[in-house]
């Protein structure tokens, strides 16, 4: 591994306003450079950060999203089962409690998964293969679908802003940034609503097993349940990533780790939800284009060398969509036996 500088043991708070089209005019080049530098340090040292989105997503919008998602999870089981993922392409839709599997173990949560439109030609055969179908949105509460549609638009804008800041932080020139954006500008995003009942008493269980995210960037909004989301620091300790008002928790995924030859490691994290409340979280995964090649970035090579670190050349060739499909097919168990 690269030499580790004094890795922080708390997550930094970074304001993205200088990179957001609606807010950038109020910020100077110095502000932009400060954001880019802070993104670089956070991605290198911990892979997690708080992103201050003040003025872009309002606190009311953030609370409303959680409340509507909670209303959905509290609907009768039969109604949620109407949009089971097995009724679509096996990836889009509702999954029951303990149907999701991480590292071979059932997670103690239920969820609703959505993805960008199918990347395959529109044929009846393709509609049945993983990721080939259409999203299944809940009918109730009626306000949930329009909220999710607005959320997706905003998160894609946020994705571009953070990607630009990170690419500046890596020292890319304009041409390199444009090339990078060309393989992310049709993001094969995904989004989950996750509902976590408290872990049963006396069970030494896990609500969501430790994992790295698959792709590029995760923008997480969740109920404030101290201690639930935990992040593995470089020192080997699990840090609590509790929510901060007006901020998303952001982490980088496996594609950034590969793009940067390990300079920006995707960090292990997990959820252990022990308090008696029902916790809701909404991760949005801003991902590369489905057919994006994930090769070592020259800017990452330069930056790694400039910082006197060791690069880990990624092996072979990889396209994001192939990687995603390999993950999605191993993610669920459809028979409902207790694992
Ligand atoms: O619910 C959370 O806080 C985190 C969920 C998560 O890590 C994921 O869905 O990848
Ligand atoms: Fe995750």
Domains of the chain and CATH, by start? 4-338 (2.60.120.330)
Rounded to 5°, the CA angle 271-242-244 comes to 145
Please, are residues 288 and 248 in contact by the beta-carbon 8 Å criterion? no
114 lines ligand 1 (CB under 6 A): no
On whether ipTM exceeds 0.95, the answer is yes
213 lines ligand 1 (CB under 6 A): yes
Q: Which atom of ligand 1 is nearest to the CA of 249?
A: 3
What's residue 204's pLDDT? 62
Tokens of 153: 């638009």
Distance CA 44, CA 265 (A): 7
pTM (2 d.p.): 0.94
Please, are residues 212 and 179 in contact by the beta-carbon 8 Å criterion? no
Distance CA 132, CA 117 (A): 8
First to last CA, the chain: 35
Distance CA 72, CA 141 (A): 6
112 lines ligand 1 (CB under 6 A): no
Please, are residues 278 and 197 in contact by the beta-carbon 8 Å criterion? yes
Measured in degrees and rounded to the nearest 5, phi and psi for residue 150 equal -65, -40
What's residue 275's pLDDT? 86
pLDDT digit string (tens) for the chain, length 339 residues? 333 334 456 899 999 999 999 999 999 999 999 999 999 999 999 999 999 999 999 999 999 999 999 999 999 999 999 999 999 999 999 999 877 777 777 788 999 999 999 999 999 999 999 999 999 999 999 999 999 999 999 999 999 999 999 999 999 999 999 999 999 999 999 999 999 998 887 556 788 889 999 999 999 999 999 999 999 998 899 999 999 999 999 999 999 999 999 999 999 999 999 888 999 999 999 999 999 999 999 999 999 999 999 999 999 999 999 999 998 877 655 443 322
What's residue 203's pLDDT? 58
- Distance of CA 158 from the midpoint of ligand 2 (Å): 18
- Distance of CA 193 from the midpoint of ligand 2 (Å): 12
The 3-state DSSP class for residue 272 equals coil
What's residue 328's pLDDT? 86
Distance CA 277, CA 327 (A): 30
What's residue 6's pLDDT? 42
What's residue 169's pLDDT? 98
């Amino acid at each position: 591994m690269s030499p580790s500088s004094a890795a922080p043991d708390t997550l930094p708070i970074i304001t993205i306003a200088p990179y957001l089209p609606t807010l950038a005019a109020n910020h100077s080049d110095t502000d932009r450079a400060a954001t880019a530098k802070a993104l670089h340090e956070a991605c290198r040292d911990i892979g997690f950060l708080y992103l201050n989105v003040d003025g872009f997503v309002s606190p009311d919008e953030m609370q409303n999203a959680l409340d509507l998602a909670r209303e959905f999870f509290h609907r009768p089981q039969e109604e949620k089962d109407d949009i089971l993922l097995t009724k679509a392409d096996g990836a889009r839709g509702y999954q029951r409690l303990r149907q999701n599997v991480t590292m071979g173990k059932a997670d103690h949560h239920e969820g609703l998964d959505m993805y960008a439109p199918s990347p395959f030609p529109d044929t009846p055969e393709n509609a049945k293969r993983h990721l080939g179908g259409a999203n299944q949105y809940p009918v109730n509460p009626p306000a949930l679908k329009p909220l999710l549609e607005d959320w997706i638009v905003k998160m894609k804008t946020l994705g571009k802003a953070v990607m630009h800041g990170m690419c500046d932080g890596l020292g890319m020139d304009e041409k390199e940034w444009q090339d990078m954006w060309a393989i992310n500008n049709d993001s094969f995003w995904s989004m989950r609503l996750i509902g976590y009942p408290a872990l049963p008493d006396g069970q030494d269980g896990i609500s969501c097993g430790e994992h790295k995210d698959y792709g590029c960037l995760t923008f997480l909004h969740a109920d404030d349940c101290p201690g639930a989301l935990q992040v593995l620091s470089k020192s080997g300790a699990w840090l609590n990533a509790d929510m901060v008002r007006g901020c998303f928790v952001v982490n980088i995924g496996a594609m950034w780790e590969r793009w940067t030859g390990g300079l920006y490691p995707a960090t292990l994290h997990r959820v252990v939800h022990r308090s008696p409340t029902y916790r809701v979280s909404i991760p949005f995964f801003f991902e590369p284009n489905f057919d994006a090649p994930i090769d070592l970035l020259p800017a990452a090579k330069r930056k790694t060398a400039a910082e006197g670190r060791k690069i880990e050349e990624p092996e072979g060739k990889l396209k994001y969509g192939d990687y995603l499909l390999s993950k999605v097919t191993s993610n669920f168990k459809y028979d409902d036996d207790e694992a």
